[in-house]
Amino acid sequence: MRPLDPDAVEAFVLVADLRSFTRAAGVLNTTQAAVSLRLRRLEERLGQRLLERTPRQVRLSAAGEQFLVLARDLVAAQRRAAEAFEEAPTRLSVGVTHHLMGPDLPKLLRRIGEHDAGVTLHLRTGSTRGLLDLYDAGELDAVVVMRYDESRRDGEVLLTEDFGWFSAPDFALPAGSPLPLAIQPEPCSLRAMAIRSLDAAGVRWREAFVGIGAAAAGAAAAAGLAVAPLARRAAPAGTIEVGQGIGLPPLPGREAILHSKVAGARAGAVLRRVAGAFRSM
């Protein structure tokens, strides 16, 4: 009997966990077509259909549910064998701007960390300015932050993030009233960007809620207290984009940048998975 391709088995486990060929490809730092090919060959090898694919979702077949338990064991055994004579566990400290911390990101990063038991992934969130200061001071190995100006042109572009105006579905702005904003205190680059856009469009506004972090502003928006300028991937469940409906100006996109000084193959491989996950989200 021919052995199973371990790369195909790992791809299957990732697709099963993430319910997405695109996200699995990002974690594996490959293409969606390559993942699909691996899975098709694995299914042909087993003589079973493991995944049911539709344009909207990916789910396990009955055979896929049965095989997943064995596939996890195989991936774990392969990892233990590969690590048998490797160096001591490695620590990788990564900072991610809170503007990119959407509902799916913690789960995705946790899955990334699970694929190399020899690397402990430390995740820290904060503002772009604060994370860059920690990175420059040597307290973080890598950071994923937003580029708001031209003062720092180094780093690798991972994606361009869209921003919008978010609030509860039943939010209504009374005629003639200033726009209630849920924003962060100064100095916040997103706050400055939003206020510049409103002032340039002649939109009257007031601070209705001031909180630290995108999650705090998003919570106020979800409660219907105000409108929050947020990255689309960071908008919490229960909010919708309301800007166009109430005549707010569009917000410009911003590049998400990876800065890294990671050394070592194991930590570098995990960091590539992190970068791939951001590209695929």
One digit per residue, pLDDT tens: the chain, 281 residues? Answer: 567 888 888 888 888 877 788 878 877 778 888 888 998 988 888 888 988 887 777 888 888 888 888 888 888 777 767 655 555 557 778 888 888 877 666 666 666 655 555 677 788 888 888 899 999 898 998 898 888 766 677 788 888 889 999 999 999 888 889 999 999 888 888 899 999 999 999 999 999 999 888 888 989 999 999 999 998 888 888 899 999 889 999 999 888 888 888 766 667 777 777 777 777 66
Give pLDDT, residue 151.
63
31-35 contacts: CB < 8 A, separation 24 or more?
Answer: 35/11
Torsion 218-222-224-227 (CA) sign: positive
Euclidean distance between CA atoms 27 and 278, whole angstroms: 9
Show Cβ contacts of residue 129 under 8 Å, excluding neighbours closer than 6 positions.
187, 189
3-state secondary structure of 201: helix
Give pLDDT, residue 64.
86
Euclidean distance between CA atoms 63 and 61, whole angstroms: 5
Q: Which residues of 25-42 are buried (b: 16+ CB within 10 A; e: fewer)?
A: bbbbebeeeebbebbeeb
Euclidean distance between CA atoms 93 and 135, whole angstroms: 10
Give pLDDT, residue 7.
86
Euclidean distance between CA atoms 275 and 252, whole angstroms: 23
In angstroms, the first-to-last Cα distance of the chain is: 38
The structural domains of the chain, ordered by start, are: 6-82 (1.10.10.10), 90-156+255-280 (3.40.190.10), 163-252 (3.40.190.10)
Strand residue runs (E) in the chain: 51-53, 58-60, 90-97, 119-126, 142-147, 156-161, 163-167, 179-183, 205-210, 228-231, 240-241, 254-260
Give pLDDT, residue 129.
85
Give pLDDT, residue 188.
84
Show Cβ contacts of residue 11 under 8 Å, excluding neighbours closer than 6 positions.
24, 28, 35, 38, 39, 42
pTM reported for the whole predicted model: 0.66
Question: Which structure tokens are listed for 88?
Answer: 């001591």
Q: Are 12 and 42 in contact (CB under 8 A)?
A: yes
Give pLDDT, residue 269.
74
Give pLDDT, residue 147.
84
DSSP state, residue 236: P
